[in-house]
Structure 1
Amino acid sequence: MSDLGRPARADDGSAELAVSVYGRFKDLFGGERVGRDRARREKAAARTVDSVPYGPGRDPKGLGDVFENLTTRLGWDSPLAQHDLLANWAVVSGDENAQHSEPLSIADGVLVVQCDSTAWATQLRHMRHDILVQISERYPQAGVESIRFQGPGAPSWKKGPRSIPGRGPRDTYG
């Protein structure tokens, strides 16, 4: 440096002096610094190899691929598939069957479906195998192993202060 704080010009010999001093220090202390600096340089070298433009793995990815990778890493595959199955019940069971049934929940590998009547519940029980095949093909991550079809719920007669214990009326309600 010159006395005014500006870098010295190369013609006054200071550049040659700096190179010789550097060479001497390198001979005395070795070519590489030890400790944390070496690890830091190795990490930086690894990052620069990975972030080379037009290098492998640097191609742009579609938004669908990014979300699929994210959901797989976070373990959201099964819950997302289950909710997609519940939302698209008409696709799996058929339009007419979906008009008379509604999937309620999936718990412990069992899909619970509420039907409009006991006749529809019986009809869907006969189709259980075909519906399970559709589910396993379209939503394999949902983890559905069986289906339970329920008829409509009977009204409760256990209301009021003067109700008596017993089985109640003997009608099927559906």
Structure 2
Amino acid sequence: MSSDEPTDAQPGEEPVRRDDGLDLARALTRATARSGGPARRKPKSGPRRPTVGRVSGSHPDERDPQLLEATLGRLVGDYGWELDLRMQGVFGRWPELVGDEVAAHCTPESFADGKLVVRTDSTAWATQLKLLAPTIVRRLNEQLGHGTVALIEVLGPHLPTWKKGPRSARDGRGPRDTYG
């Protein structure tokens, strides 16, 4: 007699099956105990790939709606626009950085590679701004960070050209500085 058969059977007779199913449960338990247990799913290894229709769970996710401030901050950081935005802020606050009187006679035109180009409305103010340049550079570097502005290039006013026309003289010196 084998251990798999119910004990109610006589030798040579077919085993008696019970209607309550206990014999079937015992047979299954014995079979799984010998085979090492029920077959289990192994967890997938490796990175999980997002599916196209995946919906955000209860935890925050990069696909959730984001605040505009955080999104713009990440965009500015990714493209390296920090210095450009700070310089545009300087252009907008020029009167408060250099004073109202100086700002009335000069305007910043461009900034590149540490050089700020400033245009004045007269040659007298160009001379004055050249004398004030170290002070302005120090103020700007306090606002923007040390070493951001290394040099201020001061340009005089836009003057008309006398190089062309019916009364131009070759190698002539032009009208000189009679403006301002």
TM-score w.r.t. the length of structure 2 is 0.61
Q: Is the 8 A contact 2:87 2:111 kept in 1?
A: yes
The 2-side partners of 1:65 and 1:94 are apart by 34
Q: Report whether the alignment pairs 1:32 with 2:42.
A: yes
Identity score, percent: 35
Corresponding position of 2:8: none
Corresponding position of 2:86: 81
Amino acid at match of 2:39: F
For residues 141 and 130 of structure 1, do their structure 2 counterparts lie closer, same or farther at Cα, with a shift above 3 Å needed?
Answer: closer
Q: Is the 8 A contact 1:113 1:150 kept in 2?
A: yes
**Map of 1:153-168 to 2, 5 A cutoff?**
153-160=158-165, 163-168=168-173
Amino acid at match of 1:32: K
**Relative contact order (C-alpha < 8 Å, sep 6+): which is higher?**
1
CA drift at 1:159: 2.3
Structure 1 runs (4+) greater than 4 angstroms displaced = 51-54, 61-66
Amino acid at match of 1:119: A
Q: Deviations over 1:130-165 (max 9, x none)?
A: 111111111228932110112213321122366431
Root-mean-square deviation over aligned CA pairs: 3.9
Q: Deviations over 1:62-99 (max 9, x none)?
A: 76565434422331111111222222211211111111
- Give the number of aligned pairs: 142
The 1-side partners of 2:80 and 2:146 are apart by 11
Give the greater-gyration-radius structure (CA). Answer: 2
The 2-side partners of 1:103 and 1:149 are apart by 9
For residues 153 and 167 of structure 1, do their structure 2 counterparts lie closer, same or farther at Cα, with a shift above 3 Å needed?
Answer: farther
The 1-side partners of 2:144 and 2:137 are apart by 10
Corresponding position of 1:98: 103
The 1-side partners of 2:124 and 2:130 are apart by 10
Corresponding position of 1:128: 133
Structure with the higher fraction of residues in helix conformation: 1
In structure 1, the gaps of 5 or more residues are: 1-11, 45-50, 55-60
